[in-house]
Amino acid sequence: MKYKIMALCLGVMLALGLAGCGGKEEERTAGQKQEQASGDGQAKNQAVAGQEAGAEQDQAVPSAEPEQDKTDDTENGRILIAYFSVPEDVDTSGVDAISSASIVVQEGEVYGNTEYVAKIVQETIGGDLFRIKTTEDYPLDHDLLVDQAADEQNAELRPELKSHIEDMGQYDTVILGFPNWWADLPMPVYTFLEEYDLGGKTIIPFVTHGGSGFSGTEDTIAGLQPDAAVSDNTLSLSRGDVADSEEEVRQWAESLR
Ligand SMILES: Cc1cc2nc3c(=O)[nH]c(=O)nc-3n(C[C@H](O)[C@H](O)[C@H](O)COP(=O)(O)O)c2cc1C
């Protein structure tokens, strides 16, 4: 058990670039500095990038009313692709794709890592794309974001959601994407999973992360939805690989048909 805790601690430290495994406040401060340092080369025009990323966060309005339905040709019935993603405030000027941070830039569009993967899955096998959005926007500044996420996790907060699915009953499969936050689900994903009864459905998780993978969140999902089947055909992508992951994501999505 002792070794498990040490291993978990080490994983989170590696993922966040933390310098030590002491008090959480110290860990976060060190991690922020290192992550900030790694992003410094891209941080010349943060105000502009922040506006773009912020606009993206607002634009990606989840829809309970599917705009396109390409799910008829899959064997998994109707598919919902629900995802949570926070594209951070990173400089995007003059760059086609940024793979070390929490965003992907493609053809001038800024996507959060998880958002990008969700988009490719939907392009590949259809289904309805649903962004899990909170009533209060998250800060796009990395330092503020990691602090807020840690506070929410410590308080076991359930942030209020702005987006809701009107008729969850129409779906047979829920592909659920999220970033690893402090070796756990982001708290809004808890809110989402506690809002609906997914009993009888198949949940297919995918995660983007900084090195920790799922950190056991598949079991957390199964615990929150005991009457759903949580698939083990999952996808785990390191943030450094997301920008170049299109083919891998497409192949995985095809395997879900
Ligand atoms: C608040 C916060 C906490 C994080 N904690 C972890 C962690 O514990 N382990 C890990 O591997 N990555 C961690 N990361 C890195 C993210 O999982 C990774 O950057 C992810 O791709 C972000 O996805 P998004 O752009 O869709 O939000 C964390 C990032 C943030 C912002």
- As a whole number, mean pLDDT of residues 172-194 equals 98
Pocket of ligand 1 contains residue 238 by CB under 6 Å: no
Total structural domains in the chain?
Answer: 1
pLDDT at 71 over 60: no
Model confidence over 24-69: pLDDT tens digits?
Answer: 322 332 233 233 323 322 222 222 222 223 333 433 334 444 434 4
pLDDT at 181 over 60: yes
How confident is the model at residue 94, as a pLDDT?
58
What type of residue sits at position 12?
V
Pocket test for ligand 1, best of 209, 212, 220 (most atoms within 8 A of CB): 209
Least confident of 25-34, 95-104, 204-213: 25-34
Model confidence over 187-201: pLDDT tens digits?
Answer: 999 999 999 999 999
Model confidence over 216-251: pLDDT tens digits?
Answer: 999 999 999 999 999 999 999 999 999 999 999 999
pLDDT band at 108 (very low <50, low <70, confident <90, very high): confident
252 vs 17, residue with greater confidence: 252
Rounded-to-integer distance, Cα 239 and Cα 257, Å: 25
Question: For residue 86, which atom of ligand 1 is closest to its CA?
Answer: 27
* pLDDT over 90, % of the chain: 61
pLDDT band at 18 (very low <50, low <70, confident <90, very high): very low
Å from CA of 115 to ligand 1 middle: 13
CATH number at residue 171: 3.40.50.360
Domain span including residue 118: 2-255
pLDDT at 84 over 80: yes
- What are the structure tokens assigned to 80, written together? 């919902």
Å from CA of 253 to ligand 1 middle: 22
Å from CA of 39 to ligand 1 middle: 14
How confident is the model at residue 81, as a pLDDT?
98
How confident is the model at residue 106, as a pLDDT?
87
pLDDT band at 16 (very low <50, low <70, confident <90, very high): low
pLDDT band at 135 (very low <50, low <70, confident <90, very high): very high
pLDDT at 15 over 60: no
Å from CA of 146 to ligand 1 middle: 9
Pocket of ligand 1 contains residue 146 by CB under 6 Å: yes
- When the pLDDT of each residue in the chain is averaged and rounded to a whole number, the result is 77
How confident is the model at residue 101, as a pLDDT?
79
- What are the structure tokens assigned to 50, written together? 């922040």
Pocket of ligand 1 contains residue 16 by CB under 6 Å: yes
Rounded-to-integer distance, Cα 92 and Cα 213, Å: 26
